[in-house]
Amino acid sequence: MTQARGSNIIDLRSDTVTLPTEEMLEAIRNAELGDDVYREDPTVNRLEEMAAKKMGKEAALLVPSGTMANLVSLMSNTKRGDCVILEAESHIYWYEVGGLSAIAGLIPWPIRGHMGALDPQDVEAAIRPKNIHFPETTLVCIENTHNRAGGTIITPQQIEALSRVTKKYGLKLYMDGARIFNAAVALKVDVREFTRHVDNLMFCLSKGLSCPIGSVIVGDSEFIERARKIRKMLGGGMRQAGIIAAPGIIALEKMIDRLEEDHRNARLLAEGITKIDGLYVDLRRVQTNIVLIDVSGLGVNSETFIAKLRERGLLASNHSKTIVRMVTHRGIEKEHIERALTIIEEVAKELRVKR
């Protein structure tokens, strides 16, 4: 279910609910295909070359999902038994079924950040000394934008400061850049301002860029060769994968600048919600396309609030016991935000009366 013209449902659960554009669907139908395991799919090859160039790295690799991209990258940067430093509410730690331990055999070392950003001093203090009793720390992971922090941006300056620590200790710095183009568009800088400070990263095609499937890993050639083999091990070796790559090419060519519209709509939504009694939004965190709404002032939990919204045709997701998440994306326009605010106000009023 996704937002479409004429639909009575306003779906703000995630930017993953976007549908491909007509141009993307036509590109899928006409894509030139080959066997990608043999590296013979010309459409995949073109996408990977485009992605590497755009990110300022040597090479790239198409994978089916962001979760696989993160797992493949973790395994390509480390060995079993290594310790990985990451932010305590990162997607890798929260939402990827424990794959970093269950499959990659890694020890997570979570650190609480500030609005999603790790403090370099905290990272340095967490690096385990060389000792027979300790796992070896080999990797630091960051997430940009940071989902659970509310779509907050880890700035190029913050990444550079972290990279000085990782280089000092000979560690790799990896970025889960699922929404990295949101960060670049919001700050109005080239995405390479972020990527030049990390060893490797991934980004999603299937969120704000509106593709039906796919993520891309980028890094140096040696890293991507390891990643290609691990992708195959995990069942991600694909055959005529040009049907995935074709909309990805259009996304990189035409869909990045459009993200600014999502950011404007998220700000409009957030500022409207702050005017509703019983609800709270920390506007400092509304930097891209995610809005976190604290409903505790209404004396209800998230599930109750979400259920009331759903009855009126507005879909949202549960972030925590009293925090509701809404995400803007292609297909959500100003009139949808205005209607959503009316529904939210109606629900808040109803719940206030019942208290």
pLDDT at 302 over 80: yes
- pLDDT category at 4 given cuts 50, 70, 90 is very low
Spatial contact of 31 and 245, defined as CB atoms under 8 Å apart:
yes
pLDDT at 353 over 90: no
- Mean pLDDT over 249-277 rounds to 98
- Each residue's pLDDT tens digit, 28-65: 999 999 999 999 999 999 999 999 999 999 999 999 99
As a whole number of angstroms, the distance between CA 206 and CA 262 comes to 15
- pLDDT category at 7 given cuts 50, 70, 90 is low
The closest of 120, 143, 170, 18 to 69, measured between CA atoms, is 143
Residue 171 C-beta-side C-alpha neighbours within 13 Å: 27
Name the pTM for this structure. 0.96
The closest of 178, 212, 177, 150 to 18, measured between CA atoms, is 212
Query: For residue 355, what pLDDT is reported?
Result: 65
pLDDT at 5 over 70: no
Q: What percent of the chain shows pLDDT beyond 70?
A: 97
As a whole number of angstroms, the distance between CA 258 and CA 81 comes to 42
Query: For residue 151, what pLDDT is reported?
Result: 98
Pairing state between β 323-327 and 290-294: antiparallel
Domains of the chain: 10-18+258-354 (3.90.1150.10), 31-255 (3.40.640.10)
- pLDDT category at 1 given cuts 50, 70, 90 is very low
Query: For residue 349, what pLDDT is reported?
Result: 96
* Higher local confidence (pLDDT), 286 or 354: 286
- Each residue's pLDDT tens digit, 186-210: 999 999 999 999 999 999 999 999 9
pLDDT at 3 over 60: no
pLDDT at 69 over 60: yes
- Each residue's pLDDT tens digit, 149-166: 999 999 999 999 999 999
- Mean pLDDT over 125-154 rounds to 97
pLDDT at 241 over 60: yes
